[in-house]
A = this chain, B = another copy of it.
Amino acid sequence: MAKDLVIGIDVGGQTTKCGVVDARGTVLAQTVIRTDSHTEVELFIADLAEALNKIIRESGAEGRIRGIGLGAPNGNYYTGEIENAVNLTWGGSRTIKFSKLLSEAMNGIPVSLTNDANAAAMGEMTYGAARGMKNFIMITLGTGVGSGIVINGEMVYGHDGFAGELGHTCAVRHNGRVCNCGKTGCLETYCSATGVARTAREWLDMTDEPSSLRSLDKISSKDVYEAAKDGDKLAIRIFEFTGKILGESLADFIAFSAPEAIVLFGGLARAKEFLTEPIVKAMNENSLPLWRNKVKLVYSSLKESDAAILGASALAWEL
- A-side residues, CB < 8 A to B, are 84, 134-135, 149, 151-152, 154, 156-166, 168-170, 172-174, 181-183, 248, 251-253, 255-260, 286, 288-291, 294
- Cross-chain contact A163 with B252 (CB below 8 angstroms): no
Bound together, the chains give a CA A165 to CA B149 distance in angstroms of: 17
Name the one of B157, B165, B183, B257 contacting A163, with C-beta atoms under 8 angstroms: B257
Give how many copies assemble into the complex: 2
Best-surrounded residue of A149, A182, A252, A253 (most CB of chain B within 10 A): A252
Contacts beyond the supplied A159-B258, A166-B255: 8 A-B pairs with Cβ under 8 Å = A84-B290, A135-B158, A151-B156, A158-B258, A160-B290, A168-B288, A169-B255, A182-B289
Bound together, the chains give a CA A152 to CA B151 distance in angstroms of: 9
Best-surrounded residue of A160, A164, A174 (most CB of chain B within 10 A): A160
The closest CB in chain B to the CB of A74 belongs to B290
Best-surrounded residue of A84, A253, A290 (most CB of chain B within 10 A): A290
Question: Closest approach, in angstroms, between the C-beta of A165 and any C-beta of chain B?
Answer: 4
User: Which 9 A-B pairs give the minimum distances between C-beta atoms?
Assistant: A158-B258, A163-B258, A159-B260, A169-B252, A135-B159, A165-B255, A169-B255, A163-B257, A162-B258
- Cross-chain contact A286 with B183 (CB below 8 angstroms): yes
Bound together, the chains give a CA A164 to CA B291 distance in angstroms of: 12
Bound together, the chains give a CA A160 to CA B258 distance in angstroms of: 7
Query: Which residues of the partner chain B approach A290 to less than 8 Å between Cβ atoms?
Result: 84, 160, 162
Query: Which residues of the partner chain B approach A166 to less than 8 Å between Cβ atoms?
Result: 255-256
Query: Which residues of the partner chain B approach A162 to less than 8 Å between Cβ atoms?
Result: 258, 290
Bound together, the chains give a CA A166 to CA B248 distance in angstroms of: 14
